[in-house]
Structure 1
Amino acid sequence: MGRRSRAAVGERDPLRRASRSVALRVGATTALVVLLAIIGTAVLFDRQQLAEIRGRTETTARTADDVVDAPPGTWLVKLTDSGHEATRSMPPELAAAASAVGPDVSGATSLTADGRSWPAWVDRREGVRYVAVYDIRLHTGEEQRLLVSTAAAGLVGVLLAALTGLLAGRRAVRPLGEAMELQRQFVADASHELRTPLAVISTRAQMLRRHVAADAAVAGGGDSAAARRLAEVDQLVHDTQAMADVVSDLLLSAQLEHVDEVAERVDLGALASEVVTSLMPYAADHGVTLVDEVAGAGGVAVLGVRPSLRRSVLALVDNAIAHSEKGTQVEVRSGVEDGQVRVDVVDHGHGVDAADVEHLSRRFSRGDGGSGGRRVGLGLALVTQIVRSHGGRLDVTETPGGGATFSLLIPAAAPD
């Protein structure tokens, strides 16, 4: 108790997520550009260096005649019929590889020694062959220094770009945030203002129904006009309650988006059982059997806001009852799966098309099935909002044999 749930209150600001997303996108794009720049720099450096190395080895092989006077960074091997001479600083293994060059080799070539490939040039002058070999270690060292400096500069660039993207993202979404806050405030204020008159209307409608019902009872069953009036008043009471429910959902939706609530351990299984018990009379009135398959399930606690969670389960069960045929049943189950608490509400009604699942999570949506499609008002959108604010998700699947299964999945709370 008293701990603030990260799942419940940490992911409620879509604008903050949007600004972070902009920063990540800018950073990723910059990183890609830097990576391509590093690769391009390395390729260009290699080409330039190889061209320079080839020129140096060719010039050395064609002009130098004394192995002692080899230019810096190159070695010279002089091959004669009597043997060979090599620059003193030349590695012995490399000198041996140069002395083993075949008589038919001429021009640019490479020698393998000490696990490296060494660029070389072979030239024949006055019956003597000269092999000029470049010290490739110099090239490797220069290339590594270039790549390290380029990578360091690129890393700084990526960080600066990400920071710029974050600041630009916050600045870009600020007007949208202000507009959304005004919208949320308007919804909350309007809902508050509507609740009182709606409560009065509902009370007067119920009082009127009692009077009309009493008049109908006095008139007896033969008075068709009294029966019609009673039916109309019944519809008025029902519509007034439906409007009150919509206003309550609007108010709760506005509160979820900007009010941080203190989280607690909630036994989701026990909560689902409470909802099933409270809705059994309602289900019976609709000719639907409500089956509680949650009783006795243990270890299904989550960290969350109890009223919001109860509202989400209540909305799913109510939706299942409303879309079930008379004589069918609705089952409510719970359990733990892969570290998540799962509550399934299974109905055997009209079902729901896979293409409608995402559409139905929007406010006041209706499936594509025409007048028989599912209409969920704010209910399913509100459930989706509640579940996401708890770090979970809402899954909708087809019930085998017909119908739909709505599943709440919320991360399980850590053991006490």
Structure 2
Amino acid sequence: MNTSSINKLRRRFIFAALMAYLLVALWIGALIYGINALTTQREIRTVLNTIVTYGGILPEMDRDGKIHKQEMGEESEDSGSQEDIDADSVLEEPKGEDFDVVISDNFTIYDIFAIGSNIFTSSENHYQSRYFSLLYDSNGALIDSYLNKISYLDEESADELYGQYVLEKNKSFGKNGPFFYEMSENEDGSKLVVYLDCTSQILYNGRILYSALILVVIGFLIIFILVRMFSYNAVKPEIENAELQKRFITNASHELKTPLAVIRANTEVEQMMNGENEWNQSTMRQVDRMSTLIQNLVLIAKGQESEDKEEMIDTDVSEVINSTVETFKTVANTDEKELTSNVAEGIHMTAEGSSIRQLATLLIDNAIKYCDDNGKINVSLSQKGKVTRFEVSNTYAEGKDVDYSKFFERFYRQDESHTGTNNKKGGYGIGLSIAEAIVKRYKGSINASWKDGVITFTCLLK
């Protein structure tokens, strides 16, 4: 694995870690917001139910612990018109949804939203609860109202904007602007509509939502910085090892060339002096085999260097393929093989010219090397849309029962090549694995197919 592949793997890890955090954080935030919204709505219904239960006016408690129930149409300041109620009798009177009533000193309507159980207020904080009530007869005509807790509404506007809305909807509970409402029908057919101003609760829920989103974004940035920093420290040794491995391959290849050249020269002299025999021929075959292996190692190193640079520019692929074909025509003629080409002109793509040339070199050299005697090699290049199609084919009569899926495995060779008895056609070597790596760099694909005695390598580049 080279430096580029390690960095690509690191980026994938960072992306996966960030997506995992984002999903978990959003899920937790949504859960908190949902629970808070449901709890708030339940508490709102408790308050509305309490007001409806007491005829549209929330009872208040004085300093002596007396709870005063006020009838619709009366002024709360006129204490003589209010009915004093003992706490015990109040607890027995509510009807509708079941709930517990707990009375305590210094209590406000907002305590209901905090614990969801208390419903009465002290005289000092009684006016903190903002609500209004409308009473309609069986025919839908307004007969009474309580607007003391809302300063900007008169009876007419409250009826037109809010009361008629509920009667038309005919729903027992709902939301209208910043208000939540509840409608109750009495035994005589009259209907009581109570609106509760929940602006503070709506704003509170909104603050929770925005705060959660801000925390998620801040956490995302912090996680990104930390994961990026720690992932770099984690892959740094692997990057250094990849660099050392690449350097070793390059150095070892150069170091091995010299002794192989000496062995070849000495063997050739021995053949000239004593003639060829099975011993010096075997030595020459092994020298050729080692030279091919060294050449493949150099190709690996060059391929990794090219991938690490990633200098992508607009490249005339047609010109690169044509020049590569011309280079190999002499080689093909020497082997008494015919090399032809069918390259469309003017094909361009964003690529690295050297990698495209290396790809063409690997496939054409492979085709010439393993083409049948006196066979034909054909190179073609075409483009459809954004996909560039590059094909190299050669005659290969013995390719019917070959497993082509293994051709692109590194160091894969067929049967006899390991013994060295038939090195010329022993397999497709390491070159095809390098070709596959080049093609994948361009998000393409490469495959081998055989039909009617001809093997074709097809590359699709994007």
Please confirm whether the aligned pair reaches a TM-score higher than 0.5, indicating the same fold.
yes
Question: 1:298 matched to which residue of 2?
Answer: 346
Partner Cα distance (1:52, 1:355) in 2: 72
* 1:365 CA displacement: 2.1
Partner Cα distance (2:195, 2:436) in 1: 71
* 1:179 CA displacement: 2.3
Partner Cα distance (2:246, 2:169) in 1: 83
Partner Cα distance (2:401, 2:29) in 1: 50
Question: 1:289 matched to which residue of 2?
Answer: 338
- CA offsets, 1:197-243, max 9 Å, x none? 2222233344445556xx5xxxxxxxxxx6xx2x7655644542342
* 1:383 CA displacement: 2.3
Q: Which moved more, 1:58-67 or 1:42-51?
A: 58-67
- Counting aligned pairs with the same residue, the percent is 19
- CA offsets, 1:278-320, max 9 Å, x none? 44455467665332223x73344765253x5433322212223
8 Å CA contact 1:351, 1:398 repeated in 2 = no
TM-score between the two structures when normalised by the length of structure 1: 0.74
Q: Which runs of 5+ in 1 are unaligned?
A: 1-10, 216-225, 412-416
TM-score between the two structures when normalised by the length of structure 2: 0.67
The count of residues paired between Structure 1 and Structure 2 equals 376
Partner Cα distance (1:91, 1:149) in 2: 37
Question: 1:378 matched to which residue of 2?
Answer: 430
Bigger relative contact order, structure 1 or 2, given CA contacts below 8 A and separation 6+?
A: 1
* 1:44 CA displacement: 0.7
Residue 110 of structure 1, aligned match among 173, 184, 190: 173
Matching of residues 270-349 of structure 1 within 5 Å: 270-280=319-329, 282-283=331-332, 288-294=337-343, 297-300=345-348, 303-306=351-354, 308-326=355-373, 328-339=375-386, 341-349=388-396
Question: 2:9 matched to which residue of 1?
Answer: 18
- Residue 249 of structure 1 pairs with residue 296 of structure 2: yes
- Residue 405 of structure 1 pairs with residue 456 of structure 2: yes
Residue 185 of structure 1, aligned match among 247, 267, 287: 247
Question: Structure 1 residues 166, 197: CA separation in 2 closer, same or farther (over 3 Å shift)?
Answer: same
* 1:366 CA displacement: 4.4
- Helix, strand or coil for the counterpart of 2:36? helix
Question: 1:203 matched to which residue of 2?
Answer: 265
* 1:351 CA displacement: 5.7
Question: Structure 1 residues 393, 76: CA separation in 2 closer, same or farther (over 3 Å shift)?
Answer: same
Give the superposed CA RMSD. Answer: 4.1
Q: Which runs of 5+ in 2 are unaligned?
A: 58-70, 77-126, 148-152
- Helix, strand or coil for the counterpart of 2:410? coil
Instruction: Flag the structure with larger Rg.
Output: 2
Matching of residues 11-410 of structure 1 within 5 Å: 13-63=4-54, 64=57, 65-66=71-72, 72-80=129-137, 83-88=142-147, 89=153, 90=158, 92-99=160-167, 109-111=172-174, 118-122=180-184, 124=186, 129-135=191-197, 138-211=200-273, 215=275, 229=277, 233=280, 236-258=283-305, 267-280=316-329, 282-283=331-332, 288-294=337-343, 297-300=345-348, 303-306=351-354, 308-326=355-373, 328-339=375-386, 341-349=388-396, 357=405, 360-366=407-413, 375-387=427-439, 391=442, 393-401=444-452, 403-409=454-460
Partner Cα distance (1:58, 1:370) in 2: 90
